[in-house]
A and B are shown apart, each in its own frame.
Chain A
């Protein structure tokens, strides 16, 4: 049915009749990094985590810490979703009374880091190989034992992923990652707007 025959008989304006109205959140999913500045109160982490779960957003990493202001904490959240869905997640976070600011820094100039501790199987025969791989990734060995060593790696999520992939062949006994933390480059500050 066309708009013409069921209403005024006039021709439909040029902008009418799109094939189907787009459903929000059904676009291509990308990795996004959100920074949330929140009040440093009991239960705030629970509110954020509960909201993300309830609204069906899957958090990939979440790092929380104090800031230079004692009453303010900072969360770095990475998640996958299309731009509209992640914008929706940010807006839902804003609804929390204890959330002061949410910024999607995905496309912004930022320094992005996480730290990983990787316990790798290594004996006297292949230790040298492991050390070379670690060195080439600017990672440090922070513990050494007869059958294993611990590599401490820092870098972006992708860099740490790459190192882990290489070490996997030796046998990873244990792995822990801090989750991504980010900071904007230059003089600007994400926390500026919430300085109290």
Chain B
């Protein structure tokens, strides 16, 4: 809008001014129309549906805020939200940590793949990046099925444990009440670590080499360099990574659906899964919508907090 409003002060003819002001909207229109039709309207419709008791077919019945009361009162629904918050650790914190460590190693001044003076550009880096990006490319359903086998009674993980003399630790990981959520979470860590690494590597490319030079002149070692130069310069990428992965954790559905279906018991049930089950299996579209709205609000709040934090740090 600013581009359209600035020159109009010089012209001073009202008709033309108004025309210019509206032209900006015209440019936005196609994108706005698509966004409105496929994102805003469905969201509003969902919020509207959450005020009904509706089975998806027959005439709905006005329920007011009853569905919301149930969302907050039902321990099963609350438990699902808690599970999703636990998943944040595995989907967001661990991948970011892993991504940072990998980035740090790849950008070591004298590392064989990093190469001196060519942070994150050295030989072999392409292969490395491809390998860690691969989990992002494979469809999540395929990822889930593969991991279900890996975690299975005769799966690779138990075989490995047996092989190194830890056979006593072997178990059906996805069926274990204490370990299922961790097992599912680690699948997320595996999927998202590569994404974080890619983001950080891209960020490292933008850092001014002079900063590193200055640090080295001041006698900083590789660790100090990473902490004092790389990390602060990656703040923007960190915020993006944290936002994307947190949303992935809270809105997770596919990995859980394919690996455990929410079990054992309700140990790995997450809100996304419940929305699906309530709407399509149980015929409680209103309650599912209410849960969806609450989940969206929770995500919005968290994303806002993340953005807010990264912004205050910058000033």
**Chains A and B come from one and the same complex:** no
| Interface positions of A (Cβ within 8 A of B) | none
